[in-house]
Amino acid sequence: MDYERQRDEMVRDLRRMGIRDERVLAAMRRVPRERFVREGDRDIAYGDHALGIAEAQTISQPYVVARMTELLEVVETHHVLEVGTGSGYQAAVLAELARDVVTLERHASLAEQASSILAELGYDNVRVVVGDASAGYEADAPYDRIMVTAA
């Protein structure tokens, strides 16, 4: 499977759908989305649709990831909190843009898997924390930006 070509096509599609921030598009191009989906879904990882992951959760479709990231207006000096790690894909995209990312996940199995993938890919500026974020996460506050990817 030619994932690089699929990433290029995804970025072209995102641009056609209205994503304008070149930094966000470049981040989306650099993150290997196929690593964050189930093995059986890797051939469709770059389609613009959500995919199921463990714990009855999903990885958001590329447009949603790109649009939310664009709206957050992250810059390289930002300390970012993400609520809802899931597979870790959104955290990786944020890590391409921010100084560092703290991402909270209530499912320990998802947190462990995301942490492992992020480490394998060299995202040493992401810290995955297991916990309930309903009261926020003061340990590393204050944050420059907060993204909620869990509902």
**Catalytic residue annotation:** 60
Q: In this structure, are residues 46 and 9 in contact, taking their beta carbons and an 8 Å threshold?
A: yes
Q: In this structure, are residues 84 and 149 in contact, taking their beta carbons and an 8 Å threshold?
A: yes
Question: Strand 145-148 to strand 79-83: parallel, antiparallel, or no bridges (unpaired)?
Answer: parallel
Q: In this structure, are residues 63 and 48 in contact, taking their beta carbons and an 8 Å threshold?
A: yes
Q: In this structure, are residues 116 and 54 in contact, taking their beta carbons and an 8 Å threshold?
A: no
Hey, is 81 helix, strand or coil? strand
Residue whose token pair is 């949603």: 64
d(CA 92, CA 31): 7
